[in-house]
Structure 1
Amino acid sequence: MKWQNALKDYKHYLKIERGLSKNSITNYEYDINKLIDYLETNNITVSPINISNEVIQPFIYDVSKNVNPRSQSRLISGLRSFFSYLVFEDYRTTNPLDLIESPKIGRKLPDTLSIEEIDSLINAIDLSKPEGQRNKAILETLYSCGLRVSELTNLKISDLFFEEGFIKVTGKGDKQRFVPIGPSTQKYITIYIKEIRSHITISPLYKDTLFLNRRGKQLTRAMIFTIIKQLAEKIGLNKNISPHTFRHSFATHLLENGADLRAIQLMLGHESITTTEIYMHVDRSHLKEVLTKYHPRK
């Protein structure tokens, strides 16, 4: 089918020309498949290549009943990108999403943990179990390096440059950056490698992967979520937290302690400074202190 060839070409374009990660490409493909499922479910016999605005509008309305505005906006954006590509490659002449507006969504401020809450979570880890040392190294790395969960699970032993005080992180779009890592976190990772990881029978595919499960394979993102959720329940923390909460806390605490936004951007691997600027909204009291301390007309 012609649209299947178009979808294959589009995925190739996302990977080669836009340099998107496998996860991002999967999300774009998911949006398109959602539309195709809608057409099939409602017996609408039209190819996605020839679909009109009149068909797209009921689809968006149908989807909006089951998702929040942020998810709806992401879906519209994903489909708009696909149809823009089809126009550019002469598969069709117009974009059926041109007249459809995305819902207005407010900028969501990230949840953060206090230093005391992070300490409580880490101290709640049962170090008498083999996975305890691993989990401690995981949480220390998430917080001290500000990693995304996928960056953590993909971290390699060959990415550790402890003598130089850095780790090499592969982020979105397979872009690499070097992030500083402190002596304390280095210590916990070293303990895990020497005392726990060295006693695991490691699958050949994961010889270089840093954090492993008991079967010697790479940890899943879901497992990291589970570890953190269980620790939060254990200490009675009434916050909806995830691995990303440690990343947000890392950036917020750096800002509160005087780090400049550009440095935080580089460590987080944000392509645009605008993304990093969200942390300027987290603690306005800190900004007032900066003004009072440094402005000549205080």
Structure 2
Amino acid sequence: MVTVSFDDVQAAAARLDGVARRTPVLTSRTLNALVGAEVFIKCENFQRVGAFKFRGAYNAAAQLSPEQLARGIAAYSSGNHAQATALAARELGSRAVILMPEDAPRSKAEATIGYGAEVVTYDRYTQDRTALGRALAEERGLALIPPYDHPHVIAGQGTAALELLKETGALDALIVPVGGGGLIAGSAVAAKALHPAIQVVGVEPAEGDDTKRSLESGERVSIPVPRTIADGQALPTPGELTFPVNRRLVDAIALVSDEEIVEAMRLAFERLKIVLEPSGASALAALLAGHVPGPPRRVGVIASGGNIDTRRFTELTGR
């Protein structure tokens, strides 16, 4: 079984130094009063491509051979990993071909193309993107960088938590959105290495609780592709590589409704003056809704992304 160590996360941080942004950590007295804790928000919505995904995509792409880079890179993604891989390929003088669902947010598809990638579409509700992505890479001779099930991707994502904890010092809890599990796996590796007593809490949409069910059963469980506003977390099963890490290191999974996510998006906009996409707001939503065990006194929240266009943001938050 492939594992990811704290040394891998530290190596990724060195590789990303000067390439990825060291994103800000925000605090708010209003937020602290609302939840009864000291809260530190790691704003990955300010990362390159607008999401944490650039960390893992670049860390993986940077370790490809010159021959692999010359042939190109393939990826599959609903949006943020697509953009991240496209930009990483461009930064490294390569090219990218990205498999995206037909109903991916238009802004994410357009941004991916804008970074120079070719986009191929599929139906996320009837087709297996993993199988399609592997076939696409094999057919075209491309190096495949999956969105979470890759040790270099996991290690790269863990640098977000590494930066946060180096800035804040010890925290009682770290709250992280969960899709395929790459961000929380890397974050948990970093967090538990630095502060073994920290509670790592993952957050999923209530309609997409595949990781929660899997951790409770002790094995990966598949569910129908969930229909949720949190498109970056609309996955049917945890990752093959990420699940063993999360089973070992994640302490709890909280579930949030779409309505709770929207409330978190509103608060982030009105009080913190930042724009978060639904997946990017889910961890904050769990804290605001009182779904985090404890409650902790000092808590870190990873706001994982802010890729949402004006129309969609207004449609969701203006109700």
TM-score (norm 1): 0.30
Which has the larger helix fraction?
A: 1
Higher relative contact order (CA 8 A, sep 6+): 2
Identify the structure with the greater strand proportion: 2
